[in-house]
Amino acid sequence: MGYQYLSNSELLLRLQQINYSDFLAQSIKEYLPLALAIDTEKARSELIVMPILVEIKRQLPSQISIFSGKDFTVDSTKGLNGCCDFLISRSPEQILIEAPVVTLVSAKNDNIQSGLGQCMAEMIAVQLFNQNKGNQISTIDGVITTGTNWRFLQLKGQIIEIDLNEYFINQLGRILGILKSTVVAE
């Protein structure tokens, strides 16, 4: 498809951490040990990742929608089909996935590196989806996470930049700051 991949250790350094609700702090405190004890991708997604994404939705009322486990077949002839773990759209419409989709989150049980290819393919699918809907945006953000470790990617045109930094759950305000910046209008 002609995409180029670049590593960048300064991709998101300028972004600041943000404050978050006591509810999220309590949820992470209470459910992080449970998610780690169960130690499955599903448990990590439900008990760590989703509460973090819901916090972003809480901070941006009536501005975004979050989808979990929805079919996102864009072009099966190009292999751009299947379910995404999480999608965030810059539309408040919560029933159907509407363009522009701005961020996708790929949850992995224990290996960030193993999710790079899948995440990049999903970013390309999001880009094509937005183009097909006549709502193209300049940057598509991707995230690969185990719930405790987070890695961010950006797709601009045909260049995918991979942030070399990993962010950890003890940097929750920073992770939220990055996530929020991905969904706020350009």
Are 121 and 73 spatial neighbours (Cβ–Cβ below 8 Å)? no
Return the pLDDT at 60: 95
Return the pLDDT at 1: 61
Q: What is the pTM of this model?
A: 0.93
Return the pLDDT at 11: 78
Return the pLDDT at 124: 95
Are 141 and 186 spatial neighbours (Cβ–Cβ below 8 Å)? no
Residue written as tokens 């292999």?
79
pLDDT along the chain (186 residues), means of 10: 84 84 98 97 96 97 94 91 92 93 88 90 95 93 95 95 94 96 80
Both tokens of 44, joined, read 């990590």
Return the pLDDT at 16: 83
Residue written as tokens 């940097």?
171
Return the pLDDT at 36: 97
Return the pLDDT at 40: 95
Return the pLDDT at 186: 60
Domains parsed from the chain with CATH numbers: 4-183 (3.90.1570)
